[in-house]
Amino acid sequence: MLRKFVKMEGAGNDYIYFDCLREPLASPENLAVRLSDRHRGIGGDGIVLICPSGRADAKMRMFNADGSEGKMCGNAIRCVGKYLFESGAVPKSEMEIETLSGIKRLWLFPEGGTVRRVRVDMGKAEFAAAKIPVNLPSAQIIDYPLRLAGMQRRITCVSMGNPHCVVFEDPDGIELDAVGPLFENASVFPQRVNTEFVQKTGERSLKMRVWERGSGETLACGTGACAAAAASVAIGMFPRGEDITVRLPGGELVVNVGDRVLMTGEARMVFTGETEL
């Protein structure tokens, strides 16, 4: 059985998208593993299903390259908005998308019928340790000293609907393939964790590399960029309510941390095709 797909990316965070608004997709966990393989599959950080919702304009389900289901992806949801608008399924420049992390509001900026940039209300940054979750003896883990991955580090943990551990170290000096799995699977993170290595590069800018649970190092992570910006505000590096540019290997995202976290970035279609299910 052949099934159409769309390959899209936001800041280099690439997923394989399936329109499930009228026809569901069976066994997405197994499909994500097979199709995400960059040598024997289509290649991507995972797959995304665009599904109907009784609570919002549509629902996004995402599965990582290892088959695990993720709660939220800021780069993927921008692409979902782009697809819904350009396909005519949701012909609105403001829409709501249901995710496992709640309903997210999107603002699209179409140019001649094509959406290139999308802003997402990512919700509130959550610092309560129990809600991230992280098993450490403190109500909040902000600039917290902890020995991890063979050395003493200071970490800030935040949830953006999924768990993040932000470490302010030069990302270019990190052997991420070796260090990332040690963070992801550390016993203090009962649901595993996404880890961002971040450095301040200017008055309102950061550079970052990310190790995503279930996917490894990716070119970008929207929730990770939001977590990094929120952590930088929490430790007093930047003021609240101002745009922070987060530079990742795959591109730039602009994050504004106020009562809620707003993220703006590009969404791009790479190619379309059909695959045998």
Q: CA-CA distance, 275 to 5, in Å (whole number)? A: 7
CB atoms within 10 A of CB 130: 10
175 is in an annotated binding site: no
223 is in an annotated binding site: yes
13 is in an annotated binding site: yes
75 is in an annotated binding site: yes
Out of 79, 157, 221, 226, the active site residue is: 221
Contacts of 98 (CB under 8 A, 6+ apart): 53, 55, 56, 58, 59, 60
3-class DSSP state for residue 84? helix
- Tokens, residue 209: 């590399």
222 is in an annotated binding site: yes
Out of 73, 157, 165, 226, the active site residue is: 73
3 is in an annotated binding site: no
Q: CA-CA distance, 129 to 159, in Å (whole number)? A: 9
Pairing of strands 13-19, 251-257: unpaired
CB atoms within 10 A of CB 147: 8
Buried b (16+ CB within 10 A) or exposed e, 102-125: eebbbebeeeeeebebbbbebbeb
Our answer to whether residue 221 is catalytic in this structure is: yes
- Tokens, residue 24: 């569901």
Our answer to whether residue 73 is catalytic in this structure is: yes
DSSP tag of 229: H
30 is in an annotated binding site: no
Q: CA-CA distance, 239 to 275, in Å (whole number)? A: 47
* Residues annotated in a binding site: 13, 64, 74-75, 162, 194, 212-213, 222-223
Which residues participate in the annotated binding site for substrate? 13, 64, 74-75, 162, 194, 212-213, 222-223
Catalytic residues: 73, 221
